[in-house]
Amino acid sequence: MFDLTIPGFGRLEITDAVFDYNGTLAADGLLLEGVHERIRRLRSELRMHVVTADTFGSAARELQRLPCALVILDAENQAEAKRDFVQGLGAAHVVAIGNGRNDRMMLKTAALGITVCGIEGAAPEAAEAADVVVHHIVDALDLLLHPKRLLATLRA
């Protein structure tokens, strides 16, 4: 579990991480450099979930050696499906990480929402729904590996 109290923000007791795939963990269907190592380091702290429409059809192959549960979504109602997935885990204990418009509801619902503004960019709705916006997925994962960075960003 990831446990951190942030003055003015509250206590985070995170047990699960929910990721979007394309634009967040991957670009053009391929896992981004640095993701594999960081997810392996976080696996003792958090259960990892990837919830995606799998635009490029490569998520299962790219994630096969990682400790992640993969959920492939239908093309319709993805925002609601991602939100419902987070709620099903217990949103109060979830960090959600994404970049797209279809990630906005899960980012808003989770205890901690992080928007990644990588090479695909980030939808303004995703940025608005998040608690933190970062440049790269490695930065998002490093916030969890180095929690004082989150403390510095979110404290009142």
Nearest to 82, CA basis, from 42, 39, 45, 125 = 125
Distance from C-alpha of 54 to C-alpha of 4, rounded to nearest angstrom: 32
Q: What was the pLDDT predicted at 30?
A: 97
Distance from C-alpha of 62 to C-alpha of 117, rounded to nearest angstrom: 21
pLDDT digits (tens, 9 = 90+) for 111-144: 999 999 999 999 999 999 999 999 999 999 999 9
DSSP characters over 12-25: EEE-EEEE-TBTTT
DSSP 8-class letter at 123: -
Q: What was the pLDDT predicted at 86?
A: 98
The one-digit pLDDT tens for each residue of the chain (156 residues) are: 999 999 999 999 999 999 999 999 999 999 999 999 999 999 999 999 999 999 999 999 999 999 999 999 998 999 999 999 999 999 999 999 999 999 999 999 999 999 999 999 999 999 999 999 999 999 999 999 999 999 999 999
Q: Domain range holding 39?
A: 22-154
Residue 12 within a domain? no
Residue 144, domain CATH: 3.40.50.1000
Q: What was the pLDDT predicted at 102?
A: 97
Q: What was the pLDDT predicted at 75?
A: 85
Residue 26 within a domain? yes
Domains: count for the chain: 1
Specify burial of residue 34 (Cβ count, 10 A radius: 0-12, 13-18, 19+): middle
Which H helix or E strand runs over 94? Answer: strand 94-98
